[in-house]
Amino acid sequence: MPILQLSEVSRSFGQGARRVDAVREVSLQVDRGEVVALEGPSGSGKTTLLALAGALLTPTAGEILVDGEDITKYGARARTRYRRDRVGFVFQGSNMVPFLTARENLLLVGDFGAIDRPALRRRADELLEQLDLAGVRDQVATSLSGGERQRVAIARALMRDPTLLLVDEPTASLNFELGARVVDALLSEVHLRDKACIMVTHDDRMAQRADRLVEILDGAIVSDRPLR
Ligand SMILES: Nc1ncnc2c1ncn2[C@@H]1O[C@H](COP(=O)(O)OP(=O)(O)OP(=O)(O)O)[C@@H](O)[C@H]1O
Ligand SMILES: [Mg+2]
């Protein structure tokens, strides 16, 4: 069973002459251990699609199954729980807390949970190690490079061990070399931990590193092909 399965999902905003069809009858599935690059021009519906998969938005039509469960049928509390426990978001622009260290930024995620502190610290250190951030663990966010910040944002999204990672433009402000390192770190985490991931990007060189490439244009998927 795929982790994520969208069936003819549509989402529009506004009404009448002002209506925008941001996502139009999209069908897409993402399997365990798979990174799907979602590529398309500005305004093509990429962020809207991520928000739908993460239950930040509800579709106007269609069905979204996660581990076989229809998340569009969830009430407010189930949606909150789903977003908190099963989805890891990395939003456009990595939004770290500036004056906390890399490690403190990871531990922040645990503050509203019931997991014990030592276990959280172990998990944070393990993720920092795996994302090649152990050396900058105690540096404040403002002193980190763009690529390091993006990897911290990915580590933070992984703290709760989500099944689904939704990553919006992780390499937008980075040069090729730093961007490639961020994408490769993401790939190895998803493969190692058997997550499913959608990574939005404008940059075809980054998209080409993923397991699969899906192209979106005006809210509709225009191509979907494996890359390995
Ligand atoms: N809340 C909203 N209200 C009205 N229109 C919206 C809303 N959110 C998105 N849209 C419109 O839906 C379309 C798709 O937007 P979306 O943010 O998904 O694009 P995108 O592919 O992520 O673009 P970018 O690459 O610039 O981030 C755009 O035309 C946008 O203006
Ligand atoms: Mg966007």
Of all protein residues, whose CA lies closest to atom 26 belonging to ligand 1?
42
In ligand 1, which atom is closest to the CA atom of 219? 14
Q: Is 13 part of any domain?
A: no
| Model pLDDT for residues 9-48, shown as the tens digit of each residue | 999 999 999 999 999 999 999 999 999 999 999 999 999 9
**Band of pLDDT at residue 113, cut at 50, 70 and 90:** low
Confidence of residue 164 (pLDDT cuts 50, 70, 90): very high
Q: Is residue 25 part of a domain?
A: no
Determine if ligand 1 sits within 6 Å of the CB of residue 51: no
**pLDDT tens-place string over residues 44-79:** 999 999 999 999 999 999 999 999 999 999 999 999
Report yes or no on 64 lying in a domain: no
The total domain count for the chain is 1
pLDDT tens digit sequence for 14-24: 999 999 999 99
Buried/exposed code over 144-153 (b: 16+ C-beta within 10 A; e: otherwise)? bebbbbbbbb
Strand, helix or coil at 36?
strand
Q: Is there an atom of ligand 1 within 6 Å of 42 CB? A: yes
Domain range enclosing 177: 32-58+74-226
Inside any domain, residue 95: yes
pLDDT confidence of residue 71: 97
Instruction: Kindly identify the ligand whose nearest atom is closest to the C-alpha of 167.
Output: 2
Domain containing 100 — which CATH number?
A: 3.40.50.300
Asked if residue 7 is part of any domain, the answer here is no
Pocket flag, ligand 1, residue 45 (CB < 6 Å): yes
Minimum-distance ligand to the CA of 91?
2
